[in-house]
Amino acid sequence: MSDNWHLLAQLRPKPLRQLLEQAAALWQRAANGEKIPLPMVALHLVSGRELSGNVIRLELVGRNPEPLLLLHRIAPGERFPDADVAYVPLVSIEAVTITNMTQVAYLLQSDTPQLVPEGMQPTRLKIREQTVQLAERLNTIGGVALQLEIDADALSQTGAALFHLNAALEETTQTLLDILETLVGKETLSAHLRSVRFMLADSPGVRLDGTTLIIGLNLAQGHQGRLQGQLLRRAIEDLF
């Protein structure tokens, strides 16, 4: 109970529409390749029925614009539909239950990034170890010897910030591996890059300093504080 109690105590109410918009934004991030858990929602309809699934999109549609929700339905029981999608008018929803809140609270409450559960916050030693392992992956899988470095200021952060630092390490490594899969990408990175450095920054971004790729992170802003998915890849590719 104690861990959940701590998490529940930090949750804040928010309008249903805002909550569902956030859930839809997470679905888009996952669709862009980001490895994040999606909120499992149960929509309680005014008719008394209930629909469960992942929110795909929430948009205003029609001549007299009305908010409409697309829901990827996850049906219980024997049937496991791959692509059942429900079209739900927002006005028909009177309440929403998030059934996996412990996994997604830190994503839905982006204004309170400290919501990352303690069990998911890596220690500094784990991050240093991770740095070594990811550099080995870049070498063995990507075929490029790159040094990964973390600025002392970034590593001295605590709590949820370390979770986001670790996520940035993993995402950047994966993005570099994706780029290294292409012939041009491999030739370019091999010729121009020797190290990757993770630093604190006012706003997220990437830049080159000689042969060092600088990854700027605002760890206090949680997920908003770093480039991710296709945005990160495009930003790195644009540097060369």
Q: For residues 128 and 234, which CB has a smaller minimum distance to another protein in the complex?
A: 128
CB of 158 to another protein, least distance (A): 8
Q: For residues 35 and 128, which CB has a smaller minimum distance to another protein in the complex?
A: 128
Among the candidate windows 36-44, 68-76, 123-131, 224-232, which touches another protein by CB under 8 A?
A: 123-131
Q: For residues 136 and 181, which CB has a smaller minimum distance to another protein in the complex?
A: 136
CB of 5 to another protein, least distance (A): 17
Torsion of CA 228, 233, 236, 239, to 10 degrees: -130
Strand partners for 50: 44
CB of 37 to another protein, least distance (A): 23
Q: Three-state SS for 13?
A: coil
Q: For residues 17 and 126, which CB has a smaller minimum distance to another protein in the complex?
A: 126
Residue 50 binds another protein (CB under 8 A): no
Q: For residues 4 and 18, which CB has a smaller minimum distance to another protein in the complex?
A: 4
Give per-residue burial for 197-221: e unless 16+ CB within 10 Å, then b.
bbbbbeebebeeeeeebbbbbbbeb
Residue 123 binds another protein (CB under 8 A): yes
CB of 162 to another protein, least distance (A): 8
Per CB under 8 A, the list member of 6, 14, 35, 128 interacting with another protein is: 128
Q: For residues 123 and 182, which CB has a smaller minimum distance to another protein in the complex?
A: 123
Q: Three-state SS for 48?
A: coil
129-188 binders of another protein (CB under 8 A) = 129, 132, 158
Q: How far is CA 201 from the centre of its chain?
A: 19
CB of 128 to another protein, least distance (A): 7
What is the C-alpha separation between 209 and 149, in angstroms, rounded?
14
Residue 89 CB: number of other CB atoms within 10 A?
Answer: 13
Contact 52, 73 (CB under 8 A): yes
CB of 142 to another protein, least distance (A): 20
Strand 50-61 and strand 66-73: pairing? Answer: antiparallel
Hunting for tokens 């550099």 — which residue is that? 135
229-237 vs 160-180: helix crossing angle, rounded to 10: 60
Contact residues: another protein, CB under 8 A: 123-126, 128-129, 132, 158
